A and B are shown apart, each in its own frame.
Chain A
Amino acid sequence: MPTTFQLNGKPTSFDGDPDTPLLWVLRDHLKLTGTKYGCGIAQCGACTVHLDGRNRRSCVTPVGTVAGRHVTTIEGATGKTAEAVKAAWVAIDVPQCGFCQSGQVMSAIGLLAAKPKPSDEDIDHGMAGNICRCASYVRIRQAIHDAAGMVEKTA
């Protein structure tokens, strides 16, 4: 029986092994390649998506477990907070190689949804699961603070 779920606001179904990690369903079957593979064991966060609005590592999430739920990927990340995060990322040139940044952006959106005015410690905690091998962390931190400010201004 196919697994059906909401993907970026639209009903979606996957007719395959329900143990297939959501990551590979998104990338190989639904052709949404913004979500990246980096480790496969929930260590790097490159595959971060939102499941019912909360950060989730899609590489260790069997697609069967998202049946009936809402999945948001970087391609579907919209709304005030998401737009602020992306704008903040671009404004100070956060990305270097860029491969981890979809996951960083998704984690940052998730963090701000829970903590609209995060402290440095909140950022340390909220972004701990996302590795950037280019070490763009100084700018990630700054961009999260900047995005929080943007959201507050438009509130």
Chain B
Amino acid sequence: MNHITTRRDFLATSGLVIGLALPAGKAAARAAGVATPKPFAPNAFVRIMPDDTVTVIIKHIEMGQGPTTGLTTIVADELDADWGQMRVAFAPANDPLYKNLSFGTMGTGGSTAMNNSWMQLRNAGAAARAMLAQAAANRWKVPVAEVKVSKGVVSHGAHHARFGELVADAALLPVPEKPTLKTPEQWTLIGTDVPRVDSLIKSNGAAQFTLDVDLPGMVTSVILHPPAFGGTVASVDDAAALAIPGVVAVKTIPQGVLVYGKDTYAALQGRKALKVQWDLSKAETRSSETMIAAYKAAAATPGVKAEVNGDAAAALAGAAKTIEATFVFPYLAHAPMEPMDAVIAPRDGGADFYCGSQFQVGDCAAVAKVLGVPFPGVTLHEQYAGGSFGRRATPDMGFAVEAASAVKALGGKTPVKHMWTRETDILGGRYRPLMVNRMRGGVDAAGKIVALDSVVAGQSFMIGTMFYNPSKGYDDAMTEGLTESSYGFPNLHVGVHALPNGVPTLWWRSVGNTHTAYAMETFLDRLLELGGQDRIAGRLALMKDERGKAVLRRVAELAGGLEAQAGRARGVAFHKSFGSYVAQIAEVSQGAGGVPRVHKVWAAADVGVAINPNIVRAQIEGGIGFGLGHALYSEITLGEGGMVEQSNFDRYRSLRIAEMPAVEVAIIKSGEKPTGIGEPGLPPAAPAVANAWRKLTGKVVDRLPFIHAENTGATA
């Protein structure tokens, strides 16, 4: 069951084809009407058709970071295919075939897409190549070692055959278990700027996202959640909602109140007309300020030991000079451009599930459980996802459960598009948690850094999920970047307090590094100044890791150092995350409203083999923009009673084009296994800007965002 090796399954998953972008149903119907030849399917990832097309089965979500292009590049190179014959199709929900090798289940996160697929897809492409070559050798009765494969053509002397001409023969051959892989010198596509497979359809409106799925008889549901986290529905007066033309039904589920419409506008109008009494007796009613006070109190005590080296307390006591700082990081929403959505069409014994799913198997299993159907009965139709930044992957599959519950509550017969509005999204929790970090550090009489003590207080979103490793005794997603740092502090103490909180939180692009890099790099900047050390040379002296040193040196060279023209200042920051090394230099001047204007960011990155340097650059640009936008302008706050005070982009400020700095990227040439770049471009951006800002103005920003009144002196 649930394998892709059957023709039906292949067709069912082949809807998203480069340049065609047919809706899945239409493609399948068209294909079913003609006698479709069988594909050559040497493994779970490669399908070669007699018409010469090569389809790569993509096991990762495409939420913008480019894995469809990267994974296809790996296969095409080892296969020696022509780029023009490559196609992509998203994989069905099947852990044995398509699990993320870093997770043990299908999923995308932690910048692992290229890293976990690297050898798997090289082998997949190389095996297919070997079989095509062998099929040709057999046909021409020549030694296989003399057969050449290049740009989709297999040849020997005067003999030539395109892949499509060989697939029937190749399919009869045994699949080599350990095919010969290319050496890096033999790569023709890996390491080049192969164009993205999805650029055209994402520039002309043709790309289909979940929100665009339209099924016969489908209704649209929207939801009203309780106004505070942990609240429940007490009673609903739905008379006014049901009176609105086009409103089909109003249903209450544990998550909130659903309004179903014949179309989106009807559902939205119906939701506006709802009158709901909420029970907030068990809700989280604390304000952000109350939480911050509690977290600060906790951070004043050592907490659970996350990493200890030497004796930081003794070293601080004996230091010539010490400083301390208490950092406050707000809740942040992911706010992907496409709010959460799914389309579920129930049928006997199963359902069709259309979603930009980030945990494909987990989501399908959740849908199956809610609908009471077996897992293999749920067919995933993976869609392009309009961003995620972590939001579409929740360990409890919360959104899939809610969407399936919307189907079930309506009777389980009608296809439902369940969509969140922007308000549902921003008010919807699963935020980057509010965090406090108290840092203390000192230097000796010679100015050498002798100790760092960092205590993090906040919320864990890992504890209790399959992603938590209890053997550590603490949640390392709260401290990553402080622990296992590339810097070698002679004495280090990292402590952590995982405090109870009723606000649901989640990983958010670069996870713990979103706050640890900021605290580490802005505090280190001050420690270096305290010791009279150069900002780059001092970092290099403290750095244990040669790859880290190399990116710092490279970015300094790229930017021409830290001197800026009059009226501007530069700052530097380095951070390693998810195995990738990134250093950045930012140049700022005084901007409007008491916050920096960021003119340019130079970045140097070591991501191992850069499979597609252009996508690596794009991800660094995007990571800088995402990191900077939130650090400068964004926060989710809870007011008295625990009500979230932002609900749309009017008050949850997003970076806009005028605020985006120019970006220049240098990629370190490396033969190391590829790591990832979906996240690592983000962590250094905000501290580089903060360090530049302190250089320019003398002001420290220990409470984010920069526009917070505490930094600007503005009155509310």
Interface residues in chain A, defined as those with a beta carbon under 8 Å from any beta carbon in chain B: 17, 20-21, 24, 27-29, 31, 33-41, 43-44, 46, 73-75, 77, 86, 89-90, 93-102, 105, 123-125, 127-128, 130-141
Contacts and interface: CB of A to CB of B under 8 A. Distances in A.
A106 to B, nearest CB: 9
7 contacts: A17-B265, A33-B208, A33-B214, A36-B338, A37-B339, A89-B199, A135-B660
Contact of A97 (B201, B385, B421): B385
Contact of A96 (B209, B338, B622): B622
A1 to B, nearest CB: 16
B251 interface: no
Given A33-B211, A141-B660, 15 more contacts: A27-B264, A28-B263, A28-B264, A36-B209, A39-B648, A93-B195, A97-B384, A98-B201, A98-B384, A105-B204, A124-B658, A130-B657, A133-B389, A135-B624, A138-B662
Interface string B613-638: 01100110111111001000000000
B566 interface: no
Contacts of B204: 34, 74, 77, 86, 105
A146 to B, nearest CB: 13
Interface residues of B, number: 63
Interface string B646-664: 0011100011111010110
Contacts of B202: 95, 98, 101
Which among A28, A39, A127 has the highest number of chain B CB atoms within 10 Å?
A39
A93 B614 contact: yes
Interface in B25-66: 63-66
Contacts of B655: 131, 135, 137
Given A33-B212, A99-B209, A135-B622, A43 B203 contact: no
Nearest to A96: B64
| Most chain A Cβ neighbours within 10 Å, of B199, B214, B385, B619 | B199
Contacts of B245: 17
Contacts, number: 181
Contacts of A139: 618, 621
Contact of B658 (A39, A73, A128, A138): A128
B196 interface: yes
Q: Counting chain A CB atoms within 10 Å of each CB, which of B208, B623, B660 scores highest?
A: B660
Contact of A95 (B199, B208, B389, B662): B199
- Most chain B beta-carbon neighbours within 10 Å: one of A34, A128, A135, A141: A135
B265 A97 contact: no
A73 B203 contact: no
Contacts of A125: 658
A133 B195 CA distance: 21
Contact of A73 (B63, B205, B263, B662): B205
Interface in B407-457: 421-423
Contact of A128 (B335, B626, B656): B656
B654 A133 contact: yes
Contacts of A74: 204-205
A13 to B, nearest CB: 16
A64 B626 CA distance: 38
Contacts of A101: 202-203
A28 B215 CA distance: 11
Contacts of B622: 96, 134-136
Going nearest first, the 5 A-B pairs with the smallest beta carbon separation are: A135-B625, A34-B205, A99-B386, A98-B202, A97-B64
B337 A38 contact: yes
Contacts of A33: 205, 208, 211-212, 214
Contact of B337 (A21, A34, A132): A132
Nearest to A89: B203
B622 to A, nearest CB: 5
A54 B65 CA distance: 32
B20 interface: no
Given A39-B648, A93-B618, A131 B207 contact: no
Chain B CB within 10 Å, residue with most, of A77, A131, A141: A131
